[in-house]
A and B are shown apart, each in its own frame.
Chain A
Amino acid sequence: MRTATACASARRDSGVEAEKRIWKCGICKIELVMKKTVFSYLGHNVSHEVPTCPKCGKIFIPEGLAEGKMAEVEQQLEDK
């Protein structure tokens, strides 16, 4: 799955508490804010709120989201 934001890059945290932490953009040093982001996969778009840098637009994808809902969306859209 990829995001519709051209400059977006997915990072995955390693800690289970990652989603509760406050994250800052590694480049802009600004606290990330929750923002609706469109994900595209196999011609379908679905949106979800993810931590986003308000300045550069890079997003952070928590591990739980990547391995949970995003993986299920991929599975549901992949053909048999």
Chain B
Amino acid sequence: MADGGRRIPKTNSLCPVCLERIPAEIVNREQEYCLEKGCRDHGRFSTVIWRGDNPPFEQWGNYVPPPQSKVAQPDCPNACGLCPGHLQKTCCVLVEVTGRCNLNCPFCFAQSGGNPADPTVAHLSDSFKELVRQDCTFIQLSGGEPTLRDDLPEIVAAAKAAGCENIQLNSNGIRLGKDRAYTKALAQAGLSFVFMQFDGTENVIHEKLRGRPLLAEKQAAIKACAGERIGITLVPTVVPGVNDDNLGDILNFGFSNSPAVRGVHFQPVSYFGRHPRPPRNEDRITLPEVLRAIERQTSGKVNIADFVPSGCDHPRCGFHGDFVVLPDALMPLTPEPKTCSCSQEDSKAHIKNRNFVARRWKRTPADSGMECCSNNDFGDMDNFLSRVRSHGFTITAMAFQDAYTFDIERLRQCSLHVYAEGRLIPFCARYLTAETCHG
């Protein structure tokens, strides 16, 4: 083990080169926490997972390492599909509908590209039925870029017919803004809401992360979805030195586009799939840094105290804050005490989370937001309810794991799963790639 430092819990991780399972420790040196591990063939690795003491690492989510599973675990994560050692049920399940994409981003979690055959609508329909049978009714259609499929409205309709209650589209938004008839068809088929890649409010950011300026196309997508009353959540990948100084502007952009925009979901960059080069620690931004940047860059409009750790995943996998956008202000709704009501011990946590995000991200039938309010007294019960239904706004984050940061204790608590080859696989296990897969 590297010199000095206070060791916190032991866990298991992977060698980023050969993906062999190896023991790991979290080591604290001053205000930095690193996941440290060694592979007999490929040497030692130390990767930062938490910087700074606001919020403090050890108090975040009253984190207590879970007991080691007494259940015999298969070769986690190599044989992954949910096993008896997994601690959390499925909240959202991701279904890949294509591997094709209309961008060629330097950063791509899914390593999209090429021209593999798309699954048929009939095959996907069978998958949706099986998922509903397993009580997985919140699905995300993903890829690749799903909107490359002309038959995506049929896929949405098949999911709806199978009994999926919430159908989310993961998209870069390009076609949604350009092809209004297509967006309308998606809405009519029953699409619930869109997770739209949105890395910043300046084109230079899009050029760096996606290869070309995209801001106008993103704005067109928001307008098109607003016209069809499809809620949009903006999803920035946060990369140090590229857009970590733009988080406040992204939030203000989201607030100003409420109620069409329902929230912002930050994803600190992780190094799996396609990325320009093997990561150094300075290429990483950790959750507390994202929180501090949000507070600083919104001049205190949004505060760290407005957020709680993920409750139906591992606390270090993300955070969420719940707000209402008022005409001239932002009202935080995060309750006292600042804890998430769903927890790892709560067998219904995944359902609570599912219902919560659906309530916030879906647009209600009449939610221009002002038609019900005779004045701006949002302390009035009727006005409050009208406004929270129409202008509820979530700020969330999810820190995906890569082969360097991979912590099997976190994996065991994952509720975001991918349906593939007839199995439910935790997201970070499904997209795990070894060091050589960059570029």
Same complex = yes
Mask, A55-66, CB within 8 Å of B = 1, is 000000000000
Q: Tell me the count of chain B residues lying within 8 A, CB to CB, of chain A.
A: 27
State the total of A-B contacts with C-beta under 8 angstroms. Answer: 57
In the complex, chain A residues whose CB is within 8 Å of the CB of B334: 79
Query: Given A69-B385, A79-B356, A80-B340, do A47 and B322 touch, yes or no (CB 8 Å)?
Result: no
Which of A42, A47, A70, A72 contacts B335, CB < 8 Å? A42
Mask, A34-76, CB within 8 Å of B = 1, is 0000010011111110000000000000000000011011001
B58 contacts chain A at the CB level, 8 A cutoff: no
Query: Given A72-B385, A76-B388, A80-B353, do A46 and B342 touch, yes or no (CB 8 Å)?
Result: no
CB distance from B39 to the nearest CB of A (A): 38
Is B335 within 8 A of A43, CB to CB? yes
Which of A73, A78, A80 contacts B381, CB < 8 Å? A73
B362 contacts chain A at the CB level, 8 A cutoff: no
Instruction: Name the residue among A43, A69, A78, A80 with the largest chain B CB count within 10 angstroms.
Output: A80
Q: Tell me the count of chain A residues lying within 8 A, CB to CB, of chain B.
A: 17
CB distance from A52 to the nearest CB of B (A): 15
CB distance from B341 to the nearest CB of A (A): 5
B126 contacts chain A at the CB level, 8 A cutoff: no
A77 contacts chain B at the CB level, 8 A cutoff: yes
- A76–B323 Cα distance when bound, in Å, is 10
Query: Given A77-B333, A79-B341, A80-B320, do A47 and B381 touch, yes or no (CB 8 Å)?
Result: yes
B184 contacts chain A at the CB level, 8 A cutoff: no
Is B384 within 8 A of A73, CB to CB? yes
B357 contacts chain A at the CB level, 8 A cutoff: yes
Is B341 within 8 A of A78, CB to CB? yes
Query: Given A79-B356, A80-B311, A80-B352, do A48 and B333 touch, yes or no (CB 8 Å)?
Result: no
Which of A39, A45, A73, A79 contacts B322, CB < 8 Å? A79
Is A44 within 8 A of B333, CB to CB? yes
Is A47 within 8 A of B379, CB to CB? yes
Chain A's closest residue to B378 (CB) is: A46
- A39–B385 Cα distance when bound, in Å, is 14
Mask, B327-354, CB within 8 Å of A = 1, is 0000001111001111000000000110
Instruction: Name the residue among A46, A77, A78, A79 with the largest chain B CB count within 10 angstroms.
Output: A79
**B interface list, Cβ under 8 A from A:** 308, 311-312, 320, 322, 333-336, 339-342, 352-353, 355-357, 379-382, 384-385, 388-389, 392
Pick 28 A–B contacts, CB within 8 A, sort by A: A42-B336, A43-B335, A43-B336, A44-B333, A44-B335, A45-B379, A46-B379, A46-B380, A47-B379, A48-B381, A69-B381, A69-B382, A69-B385, A72-B385, A73-B381, A73-B384, A73-B385, A76-B388, A76-B389, A79-B311, A79-B322, A79-B335, A79-B340, A80-B312, A80-B320, A80-B352, A80-B355, A80-B356
